[in-house]
Structures are given as C-alpha cells and as structure tokens.
A and B are shown apart, each in its own frame.
Chain A
Amino acid sequence: MNVIAAMSGGVDSAVAAALMVEAGHAVTGIHLALASTPDAARNGSRGCCTVEDANDARRVADVLGIPFYIWDLAERFRAEVVDDFVAEYAAGRTPNPCVRCNEDIKFAAVLDRALALGFDAVVTGHHARLDDGVLRRSVDEAKDQSYVLATLSERQLGLAVFPLGEMTKDEVRHEATRRGLLVADKPDSHDICFIADGDTRGFLGKHLGTQTGDIIDDETGTVVGQHDGARGFTVGQRRGLSLGIPAADGKPRYVLSLSVADNTIRVGPGQALEVTFIRTGPPVWHADVTSGESFECTVQLRSHGMTSPATVIAYETHAEIALHRPQRGIAAGQTAVFYGGPEADVVLGAARIEVAERALTKVSCE
C-alpha cells in the first residue's frame, strides 16, 4: 500500500510508521500543524504541534528513510475542533475534542487529501485493533483508544490502519528503542492539545468571558456559593467549587447539573450523580442492529471511564441506554461507546450523549 502516516512526534505514531515501512509499504510521513496561530509551529510556543514535536517527527522520518512533510490544517482544526469545543461548553455540554479531531481532521480532512493525492490509507499510532473493518480494544486496555475512534464511519475505518493494536505501550517503547528512535522515552501526552497549560476553565473564560452566578444546593435550594460562569463546569466536577456553606453531612459536593440559561450550578452529594438512563444523538453502528429492538452490551461513557453492562435500544435517530450499574459524572456531549463480543472488546457502535438521568432506583456503586 501507499500510505500516509500521521506523525505527531510521539512514540506511538513513530512506531506505527516504522512497522508499516518494515511491512513493505510505501510510507510518507506527515506532521499536522494544528495550532491556531500560524506562528506557533515556527516559534515553538507550547501546546499542540510545537516546533519540537515537528522536529521529533521529522527525525523519526529521517531514521525510517521516508519522505516527510508538514500539512497545515490549523484553520480546519480551529473551525472544526476548537470552535466546537468552545460552543459545546457554551451550550452546557462537555465535548471530547479528540473524538471530534478524529472524525473531522485525521479521518476526514487528512484522509480525503491523502486519497486525492493517490494514497490508499492513513496510518496512525492509535492503540486499537482493526481487523477486516472490525474495531476492537487494544490488547493494552490501559492505553486503549478505541473510545475516541468509535464514531468513525465504516468508510473511514476501511481507509485507516492502526498497526499498534496488538502491542502494549511498553512493547511500543521497546520497539522504538530497538530501532534507535529518540522518541522512545518521550512522555505520553495527556491534556487537551490546544490547552497546553491544562487550564480548561481559564481557556473557556478567555473565549466566553466570565459571569458571576449562584451555586445552589440541590436538596435545600439554598445558595451555597458563587461561580464565575456556569459554562466551563462539568457534571461530576468537584474541584474549583468555592462553597461558602459546608454540606450538612460534611461530605464533598459535586456539580450535579448546570443551567447556562440561568447561569446556575446545582451541587449535591456524589450519590446524586449516579445515572442509569441515557439518551443519545444519532448513533453510528458497526454491528447489525435492528431499530427498536433492545440488546445487551457493555457501555463506556468517558474517555478513561469505567464501563457498565447495559441494555440498549437502537433507533435511527438516537439510542436509549439503561445501565445495569449506575455511573457517576456522565455529561452531555461525551460519547457513549457500545462494546460487545465474547470479551466485550468489539466496538458495536457509538453516539453522543444528550441526556443523562439520575438513578430511579438505588443500586450500590462499585
């Protein structure tokens, strides 16, 4: 195959590209310049696509002996991912920008350009297995990234290659060392790439402005504190709440819900965060699913969250999820991914969460 390898400058995409070269494919490395200021890639400001990351990727390409280019998708990234991130928060939801980036940048803008230029597929260093179009969790469950790939369409998955799905992260690092790639020990990236300092609320404050509002105790209805803008908070959040009045039971308070319209946040005990019923937006199905019929599967509701067995009813327009184990801190805007198969590691489908409702019945939480 003649493939594009998206190379971030990290160890995963480096080894993914190396494996493709060794498998005999014609590989062309590209590094995506995504930072919103065109200068960022030149002057090395921190954040995504720093000049160091681009140079690391370029050095890997040199060692592998493959051509390497920078593709400037900053404008697309800002429009599709960053603006969407801000707009989602403004609407009181909690977006996952990595999902959005995969949907609209890596496996859309990059993929389409690659195909038009005569390439057959796009290779990335995601930790996920993809066999005959079936997306499965990585063998390294701790590093599994199938969650952020699950909303890709059949067509997108058909044109993607994830060479690392059968490897653990340690094995990936070992393979990088074995090949003399200097990125072998490079730390994993964790935070949202375009918020380099990790201060999401600061970032949102800059984009959306601040506006003081009330924090209300959900049980008593009393005002227990002030906040500087309801958007920017996330259901399940505990840090960053400055509460003047302690809870009667002395236990921590969490954000239970937020209303952008009233600019209020309602807080309460952790138990009150538990949800059992979830309604999603339009799902993407990778398995055969009959509309209106229910089936059993395992659901993951956050990027690094716990899973729960669930009963799901699929429709064209949405899905309804009844969790067998209530989950805490489920926010609208996040993705629900349905897993099945004997080891509950095959991605059956995915959809964005629209409404999460509190438990009607009490079940002990794990």
Chain B
Amino acid sequence: MTYLDHAATTPMLPAVASAMAAQFGAVGNASSLHASGRAARRVVEESREAIAAALGARPSELIFTSGGTESDNLAVKGIFWSRRESDSRHRLIISATEHHAVIDTVEWLHKHEGAQVSWLPTDTYGRVSVDALRGCIEEDPDDVAVVSIMWANNEVGTVNDIAGLAQVCQTYGIPLHTDAVQAVGVLPVDVAASGVDALTMTGHKLGGPYGAGVLMLRTDVSATPLAHGGGQERDVRSGTLDTPAVRGLAVGVQAAVSGRHERAPRIAELRNRLVRGIQDQIPDAVLNGAPVDSVEADGPGRLPGNAHLSFPGCEGDALLMLLDARGIECSTGSACSAGVSQPSHVLLAMGADVERASGSLRFSLGHTSTDADVDHLLEVIPAVVERARRAGLSGARQ
C-alpha cells in the first residue's frame, strides 16, 4: 500500500505508542490530590513543558484539548465572546482559505451570535498579504475581536508570513490566532518569535495520538469556555485530562520538532520528484499553490510534503477511486469534504474555476514516505489519468 495522505493523518511513531501504552496502566486523575493523582499531574506537566520547549512557548500558555477542531473553536469563539463582552467588538477577520474548523465556526458566530465576518482574499498561491490584513483591519479597527489566519494551508500547502501578519495585529492590539496543525513539526514554528496570541496544533498530524491537541493561548488573552465543568485547564477548558494522550502528544511533538531538520529536506526532495515525474508524464497537470522552491519568511513557502495538482478533464473523485484500486491512497482535498465532494473553497479562493478545483488531487508525504512510494505513483498515474479523462468526457457528453 502506498500511503500519500499524511496531511490527513500520519502514522503514529512507535515511541508515541509505547509511551502511551506505558501510561495506560497507571491510575491517577491529574486533578486528584493523592500520590496517584500527583504522579499523573507530573506526567501532564512534564509533557506540557516539553511541548512548550519544542514550540518556543511558555508552559502556562498551553491548554490541552481534544485536537485541532476544538482548539480552533475555543480560540475563535472564546476570544470573540470574551472581547465582545469586555470591549463590545463584533468583527472577525479570517482568510478565505481557512480549514472548516475555523470557517464553520465564524459562520456559526455570524448566524447565531451577530458576528460580522471579514474575509481576507488570498493571492493565486493562497497567501494572505500583510497589506490586505492591514487594509481590512483599517476599515474599523476598534470593532475587530480576533483575527484567524492559518500558518500553512492543509490543502495546497501554502505557508503564510505569520510573523508579518502578527506584527500588523499587534499594532492594533488585536489578538491573532493561527491554525498551525499542518505546520508544527514540519516548518520552523517558534511561538514567541512569531508574535501570535493563539495557536492550534494537534497530535495525529505529526506522529502523535488522535484526539489530543493543544491551544496555545497567551496568558494575557482571555477566552470564554466552550464547555463548563471542573476548569482543569486554566478555567478555559474543562474535562479530566487524558494523561496517556498528553504523554503521547509530548513524545510526538518532541520527535517531530527535533527531527525536522533531517526529515523536511528529505520529504521535500521526494515531493519534488513526485511533482516533476507527474508533470513530465502529464504535461497539462497543474501544480496548485506556491512553487516547490518558494520561500516565505525564513522557511519554505510550501509544506515540504505537499503536492496538490489539477488534472484537466478529470474528476478528482474518479482519480482517487482508480488510484485506491491500485493501492495508492491520496485525497481530493481536505478529508472533511470527502464523501460528497464539493469543489474546494481553497482553490476557488485562489481563483481556480470549478473544473480545475474539482479535478484535483492532494498527495501528501510524511515521515514514512519512501522513493518506492513515489515510484509506484509515477508508474500508474498516466493510465489512471487517461481513464479518468475518458470518464470525465462521458460525463460531459451527457
């Protein structure tokens, strides 16, 4: 099986699995006051410190959550509610290419909570410009509750200049949240240096556990809780801490971040060969997003493992199915729109037409990817594209 869908989820590192397995046997609620509770608490806090060190954050800034979706919701809703109450602010600014965990959240806030949403356009690579953000804030700076712009796009892999965007927000005293689910362990992510106020990350995209994530929330930014209860995490997030998952998350983050310098260039090289190989054989295939060698701030302008291509005349669904039948696993976009597929909002925001958006595939490489994976794809892709084109034509004819 050739797994080219690491951006959906990447295999758990053996060290993570064994660290979690060891923890499963230990009893103890991290909020209990006795010895077992203290032991669990120690694991949680050591994990928090390890993750903070890896991210360039302070331990007190990290809130453990159930993953990316919860962290995004907590950041956007929580900061919005808090700033609406304290400062009567009603406006949210997000980029048009955000993950659904952010888009659906702001749409809900718009529909049910009276939020006004300002959508930041992107360039054809999917990048938000510092000037666009400044211009958008300037329309009414005193009404903006929070800005949310992703660090790196999950579909096309485009990296934003988060430090530059954070600087703009700082000028106006507006908190910036960034969804860094795809970035942590893949790109140089330093929370303190970036200047962001809130950052979402999750375990299963970097070799850690499913269902475990973090919201980095600066201690001077307040957020209204989504769920109420014991207030275990800074009174912002309630629920008994999942000690094994927290431990696994720490092991995963440490491994991903410390191994990044070795891994990222290797994955980028594989990805470059994949893109070249496809474009050599299918000359009209179009790479969506930033060029593979682009640079943003001090790092790559595109996620090293991301190859997102459009195949004119094909339907992404048909390509995916034909590749699946040949043992190659990839995605037509973000997994959340799988099933009934809609043309990607990311590609549409980048100016692609519906046909190009619908005829695209995302191949994403990760820590277990090999030359053989790329070879396998390059071997079958010409016949698959040809067949999908015929199916696409049969659809167009009717």
A residues with CB within 8 A of B: 28, 33, 38, 41-42, 54, 67, 69-72, 76, 108-109, 112-113, 115-118
Question: Smallest CB-CB separation from A114: which chain B residue?
Answer: B391
A96 to chain B, nearest CB (A): 21
Contact A117 B318 (CB under 8 A): yes
Contact B322 A72 (CB under 8 A): no
Instruction: Tell whether B340 is near chain A: CB-to-CB under 8 Å.
Output: yes
A109 to B395, CA, bound (A): 7
Contact A28 B325 (CB under 8 A): yes
A70 to B342, CA, bound (A): 12
Q: Given A41-B339, A108-B398, decide whether A113 and B391 contact each other with a Cβ distance below 8 A.
A: yes
Instruction: Tell whether B219 is near chain A: CB-to-CB under 8 Å.
Output: no
A118 to B387, CA, bound (A): 8
27 pairs from A and B in contact (CB 8 Å cutoff): A28-B325, A33-B340, A38-B340, A38-B342, A41-B339, A41-B340, A42-B340, A67-B324, A67-B325, A69-B317, A69-B320, A69-B321, A70-B339, A70-B340, A71-B317, A72-B341, A109-B395, A109-B398, A112-B395, A112-B398, A113-B318, A116-B390, A116-B391, A116-B393, A117-B318, A117-B322, A117-B387
Q: Given the complex, which residues of A lie within 8 Å of B159, measured CB to CB? A: none
B207 to chain A, nearest CB (A): 27
B391 to chain A, nearest CB (A): 4
A118 to B341, CA, bound (A): 22
Give chain B's interface secondary structure class: helix
Q: Given the complex, which residues of A lie within 8 Å of B75, measured CB to CB? A: none
A52 to chain B, nearest CB (A): 13
Question: Smallest CB-CB separation from B318: which chain A residue?
Answer: A117
A224 to B398, CA, bound (A): 47
A113 touches which of B320, B324, B340, B395 (Cβ 8 Å): B395
Q: Given the complex, which residues of A lie within 8 Å of B390, measured CB to CB? A: 116
A260 to B196, CA, bound (A): 67
Q: Given the complex, which residues of B lie within 8 Å of A115, measured CB to CB? A: 394
Q: Given the complex, which residues of A lie within 8 Å of B322, measured CB to CB? A: 117-118
Q: Given the complex, which residues of B lie within 8 Å of A113, measured CB to CB? A: 318, 391, 394-395
Interface string of B360-398 (1 = CB under 8 A from A): 000000000000000000000000000110110111001
From B317, B340, B393, residue with most partner A Cβ within 10 Å: B340
A40 to B324, CA, bound (A): 26
Contact A116 B387 (CB under 8 A): yes
Question: Smallest CB-CB separation from B391: which chain A residue?
Answer: A116
Contact A117 B398 (CB under 8 A): no
Q: Given the complex, which residues of A lie within 8 Å of B340, measured CB to CB? A: 33, 38, 41-42, 70, 72
Interface string of B245-268 (1 = CB under 8 A from A): 000000000000000000000000
B residues with CB within 8 A of A: 317-318, 320-322, 324-325, 339-342, 387-388, 390-391, 393-395, 398
Q: Given the complex, which residues of B lie within 8 Å of A54, measured CB to CB? A: 339
Question: Smallest CB-CB separation from B395: which chain A residue?
Answer: A113
Question: Smallest CB-CB separation from A72: which chain B residue?
Answer: B340
Q: Given the complex, which residues of A lie within 8 Å of B391, measured CB to CB? A: 113, 116-117
Question: Smallest CB-CB separation from B339: which chain A residue?
Answer: A70
B385 to chain A, nearest CB (A): 12
B195 to chain A, nearest CB (A): 37
A38-B342, A42-B339, A116-B391 given; 8 more Cβ-contact pairs under 8 Å: A28-B321, A28-B325, A69-B317, A72-B341, A76-B398, A112-B394, A116-B393, A117-B391
Question: Smallest CB-CB separation from B390: which chain A residue?
Answer: A116
B357 to chain A, nearest CB (A): 14
A46 to B263, CA, bound (A): 48
From A67, A71, A108, residue with most partner B Cβ within 10 Å: A71
The 7 nearest A-B residue pairs measured at CB: A116-B391, A116-B394, A112-B394, A41-B340, A116-B390, A33-B340, A117-B391
From A70, A71, A76, A113, residue with most partner B Cβ within 10 Å: A113
A76 to B398, CA, bound (A): 9
A41 to B339, CA, bound (A): 9
From A28, A67, A69, A76, residue with most partner B Cβ within 10 Å: A69
B382 to chain A, nearest CB (A): 14
A278 to chain B, nearest CB (A): 31
B125 to chain A, nearest CB (A): 27
Q: Given the complex, which residues of B lie within 8 Å of A116, measured CB to CB? A: 387, 390-391, 393-394
Contact B395 A117 (CB under 8 A): no
A231 to B297, CA, bound (A): 66
Q: Given the complex, which residues of B lie within 8 Å of A117, measured CB to CB? A: 318, 321-322, 387-388, 391
Q: Given the complex, which residues of B lie within 8 Å of A42, measured CB to CB? A: 339-340
A117 to B395, CA, bound (A): 11
B69 to chain A, nearest CB (A): 16
Question: Smallest CB-CB separation from B322: which chain A residue?
Answer: A117
A172 to chain B, nearest CB (A): 27
Question: Smallest CB-CB separation from A112: which chain B residue?
Answer: B394
A76 to B324, CA, bound (A): 25
A79 to chain B, nearest CB (A): 10
A38 to B394, CA, bound (A): 22
Q: Given the complex, which residues of B lie within 8 Å of A76, measured CB to CB? A: 398
Question: Smallest CB-CB separation from A30: which chain B residue?
Answer: B321
Q: Given the complex, which residues of B lie within 8 Å of A72, measured CB to CB? A: 317, 340-341
A299 to chain B, nearest CB (A): 31
Q: Given the complex, which residues of A lie within 8 Å of B398, measured CB to CB? A: 76, 108-109, 112
Question: Smallest CB-CB separation from A69: which chain B residue?
Answer: B321
A76 to B320, CA, bound (A): 21
Question: Smallest CB-CB separation from A108: which chain B residue?
Answer: B398
Q: Given the complex, which residues of A lie within 8 Å of B342, measured CB to CB? A: 38
B384 to chain A, nearest CB (A): 10
Question: Smallest CB-CB separation from A49: which chain B residue?
Answer: B340
Question: Smallest CB-CB separation from A113: which chain B residue?
Answer: B391
From B324, B342, B393, B398, residue with most partner A Cβ within 10 Å: B398
A249 to B387, CA, bound (A): 68
B394 to chain A, nearest CB (A): 4
Question: Smallest CB-CB separation from A42: which chain B residue?
Answer: B340
A118 to B324, CA, bound (A): 14
